[in-house]
Amino acid sequence: MTLTHTGTQIINTSRLMLRPFTKEDNAAMRNNWISNPAIQKMYSEPVYTTEAETAALLDKWISSYSNDNYYRWAICLKETNECIGQIAYFLIDDTNHFGEIEYCIGEAFQNQGLMTEAVTAILHYGFKQIHLNKVQVCHKSNNMPSQRVIEKSGFVYEGKLREFFYMDGQYIDRLYYSILKREWSEMLEATEL
């Protein structure tokens, strides 16, 4: 079995459009999440406060779209096309047929089910388009909103790496979850009944 790489394609959900990033997303990214230290530290990314810093990151992401095994989406509100977050398969293992995701969303858009909607969409994409067998994800043990997204998306808890991060003067565990293609298919069948 081999994976079918299709690159970052547009995905529409009921409220969102997941699409490749463009240079025009610079201001919305800074306004909505990438300049917010509280959001960025939850997934161990630097804070980008200037237009130039964000432009350099966008150049890196946009140039990577030429690779058909690169998957990073801007999470946009369908009605306005405003970029409110990002979601990616930041790791794809072609030999063992799995991917690992990461995501973040602006504080103003949290607790509305939007991130669960985005995660569900890229799970569907990963299993149906790329033909992954497994998708995994992790979060810091103090990031309860991310844990809720993971659990609502059907992931199964696998275990933790104890005191993996040193953050704000304390050690934080790293919690791992995964979902297998057959589990995802069973979930879909159950919801269709």
**pLDDT tens digits in sequence order for the chain, 193 residues long:** 799 999 999 999 999 999 999 999 999 999 999 999 999 988 889 999 999 999 999 999 999 999 999 999 999 999 999 999 999 999 999 999 999 999 999 999 999 999 999 999 999 999 999 999 999 999 999 999 999 999 999 999 999 999 999 988 999 999 999 999 999 999 888 876 5
* Contacts of residue 76, Cβ cutoff 8 Å, sequence gap at least 6: 16, 17, 18, 19, 82, 83, 84
- DSSP secondary structure of 152-188: HTT-EEEEEEEEEEEETTEEEEEEEEEEEHHHHHHHH
Specify the pLDDT at position 193: 55
Pick among 3.40.630.30, 1.10.580.10, 3.30.390.10, 3.40.720.10: CATH of 11-192: 3.40.630.30
Map residue 112 onto helix, strand or coil. coil
* Contacts of residue 112, Cβ cutoff 8 Å, sequence gap at least 6: none
Q: Tell me: the pLDDT tens digits for 107-139? A: 999 999 999 999 999 999 999 999 999 999 999
Specify the pLDDT at position 34: 97
Neighbours of 11 (CB within 10 A): 18
Angle at alpha carbon of residue 36, lines to 164 and 29, rounded to 5°: 115
**Residues present in the chain in total:** 193
What does the domain layout of the chain look like in residue ranges? 11-192
